[in-house]
Structure 1
């Protein structure tokens, strides 16, 4: 299965090691895989260490899964909801992440976790830095599916405001270099409808956890 779009537009540099690959991914094939994977490890709203329920519904696939709980953030090989290992990451997902990273100049990326996120209309993701990974020299590869969303890219702090980037179906954002440790988030998702999945946005976030 090929998860790449037939149209391969130029890579857009966003600065400090961040890149946008418009229309890079074939979202039809991704949706089919998300349906299969979340039948085994369903979406759920995790709880933050502060006791708040996250707006974004999440699942994982790969060797590890990212978990938010009252006890803290961590990676684990077991899905706490099912008690079973997370579903294996599809080979096509691995290839997509590697090819996207390579297109942005990050060859050799081998993801061992893929966060599968689901956003409804009005859902937002607060600005944060991904820093639970043991090795932070590898980039974060983020794939958008479904209705549009506004990605916010800050800097090493949240002061000074963010660069707002509209992400469409099939777009890929890559955070590497200095930008790997930059704050980023998603503004509340505006009302829209995708003919395949309705008023939803999916996001695949590929990381190297260990």
Structure 2
């Protein structure tokens, strides 16, 4: 509960579902510990350099199939943990119910936002995947403003959602290729019991690059189960 009333589950757009407080504090702590362990090697959190020479303000690492702007490599330095893939499947079931194809993620991008350094994420599409499966996003640490837009361009209409530690956000179906980003992180808003300064975000995706690409059904369940 946040204040007097709990934050409520919401369908932000068709196929885009926000579930506040989905992860318990203990589960959040486990994920923070795992993120720290992953960054000790052979992977490290690094600022991604874009093809045009720009440098992203967030620091990232990739588990499973490796993403680089703007494609996936065959290289896998650290396998995607089975338990993390299962957590992603739990998130899809939470958002959409039991219907639909199974979610089989083979990559996870972990982004660290240093609020003190003004880290943010510009509006972009996740479009390098060949699978139409949804994207599963888990938030840890500081709250942020998450801007969820339309599929046509970076302009309006868009909706700003405040994501807090433990929140689940899943987007698929008609919203799978919506522009989205993080214009602001609210520094110092994390629960001190979490032991994290800044914000971590884990996004699980199914690339569709192993075997045949497959669509995700745009059935009623992608509206978000009640």
Q: TM-score range with shorter-chain normalisation?
A: 0.7 to 0.9
Which of 128, 133, 146 is matched with 2:129 structurally?
A: 133
Higher relative contact order at CA 8 Å, sep ≥6: structure 1 or structure 2?
A: 2
- Tell me which stretches of 4 or more aligned residues in structure 1 moved more than 4 Å: none
Alignment correspondent of 1:143: 138
- CA RMSD, Structure 1 to Structure 2 (Å): 1.7
Alignment length (residue pairs) = 190
Q: Work out whether residues 101 and 107 of structure 1, in 8 Å CA contact, stay in contact via their aligned partners in 2.
A: no
Of residues 184, 189, 203 in structure 1, which corresponds to 2:180?
184
Match status 1:20 vs 2:18: yes
Is 1:35 aligned to residue 33 of structure 2? no
CA offsets 1:21-67 (integer angstroms, 9 cap, x no match): 111122111011111111120000011111101111000112x0211
Runs (5+) with no aligned partner, structure 1:
1-8, 79-84
Match of residue 165, structure 2, among 148, 166, 169: 169
Q: Name the larger-Rg structure.
A: 2
TM-score by length of 2: 0.79
Deviates more, 1:150-159 or 1:51-60: 150-159
User: Which ranges of structure 2 fall in alignment gaps of 5 or more residues?
Assistant: 1-6, 210-226
Retained in 1: the 8 A contact 2:187–2:198? Answer: no
- C-alpha deviations, 1:128-184, integer Å up to 9, x for none? 11001122x100001000010110011122222421100000101111111111110
> Matches of 1:151 and 1:46 in 2, distance apart?
20
